[in-house]
Amino acid sequence: MSLRIVVTVKYVPDATGDRHFADDLTVDRDDVDGLLSELDEYAVEQALQIAEDADDAEVTVLTVGPEDAKDALRKALSMGADKAIHVEDDDLHGTDAIGTSLVLAKAIEKAGYDLVISGMASTDGTMGVVPALLAERLGVPQVTLLSEVSVEDGTVTGRRDGDTASEQLQASLPAVVSVTDQSGEARYPSFKGIMAAKKKPVESWDLSDLDIDADEVGLENAYTTVDAATERPARTAGTIVKDEGEGGKQLAEFLASQKFI
């Protein structure tokens, strides 16, 4: 029996760029290059490994985002995913986490799935909630924040390393999994992979394809609103000394002056 894996991947502004907000207080996507959220590369990697270990599996990558978000899909396809789905609609601009999870869940259902794999968090919103929201919406188990994952005989198992304990988890498919950056280095696309990706199918869906009304998503209909965004004032230049044998003592003096000692 074939295993249908859907990997959710997000297109985000490069964290090393100068990210800021647009006038409507959504993320300004024009000023900074976008890319596949690095943490989703780990999700793609685990999907590919699970697919390689299965008799017959198919890996679909799914993104909800603007036109450019195709770049994120191409990257995932060049890593080795089989096909891609791009959900794009002008009415999606400014959608929050609750709305995004609705769109993703509808698209996952339409695509058909046995396993959904997500990253632990995006590198822009960094909420870390979408996988749990998907599990709730899809009505399937969540097996999240895994640093180790495997799938066998319709069962997913994994290790979740928490603050106070490390737990071993188990659930039956279908399920939603999310993996951390401890799950294993993501592969680099090979030249062959990049060439092959150009021929792989990318489907485009809009809200009507998913039976979602425009008034369920977008900035106007979000469940949250941002009233203000202010740039953090640059830190005032600190004191910097060169160690010429007394650096540790000078630092102690500073700490004492600040009452830390």
Ligand X SMILES: Cc1cc2nc3c(=O)[nH]c(=O)nc-3n(C[C@H](O)[C@H](O)[C@H](O)COP(=O)(O)OP(=O)(O)OC[C@H]3O[C@@H](n4cnc5c(N)ncnc54)[C@H](O)[C@@H]3O)c2cc1C
Nearest to 166 by CA among 152, 177, 182, 155: 182
Work out whether 130 is an interface residue with ligand X (CB under 6 A): yes
- 3-class state of residue 145 by DSSP: strand
**Residue 129 and residue 8 in contact, taking contact as beta carbons nearer than 8 Å:** no
Choose the binding region for other proteins from 74-82, 84-92, 165-173, 193-201 (rule: CB under 8 A): 165-173
Work out whether 34 is an interface residue with ligand X (CB under 6 A): no
- Report the alpha-carbon distance of residue 12 to residue 33 in Å, rounded: 8
**Residue 20 and residue 231 in contact, taking contact as beta carbons nearer than 8 Å:** yes
Residue among 77, 79, 84, 121 that touches ligand X (CB under 6 A): 121
- The strand pairing partners of 36, in sequence order, are 11
**Residue 52 and residue 46 in contact, taking contact as beta carbons nearer than 8 Å:** no
Choose the binding region for ligand X from 63-71, 159-167, 189-197, 247-255 (rule: CB under 6 A): 63-71
Least Cβ distance, residue 259 to ligand X (angstroms)? 26
Work out whether 46 is an interface residue with ligand X (CB under 6 A): no
**Residue 107 and residue 204 in contact, taking contact as beta carbons nearer than 8 Å:** no
Work out whether 76 is an interface residue with ligand X (CB under 6 A): no
- Count the residues in the chain: 261
Residues of span 189-218 touching other proteins by CB under 8 A: none
Least Cβ distance, residue 102 to ligand X (angstroms)? 10
CB proximity list for 195: less than 8 A, separation 6 or greater: none
Work out whether 128 is an interface residue with ligand X (CB under 6 A): yes
Work out whether 63 is an interface residue with ligand X (CB under 6 A): yes
- Nearest CB to other proteins, comparing residues 90 and 246: 246
Work out whether 45 is an interface residue with ligand X (CB under 6 A): no
Choose the binding region for other proteins from 61-69, 153-161, 186-194, 203-211 (rule: CB under 8 A): 153-161
Least Cβ distance, residue 235 to other proteins (angstroms)? 6
Work out whether 167 is an interface residue with other proteins (CB under 8 A): yes
Burial of 228 (0-12, 13-18, 19+ CB in 10 A): exposed
- Choose the contact partner of 37 out of ligand X, other proteins, none; CB within 5 to 8 A by kind: ligand X
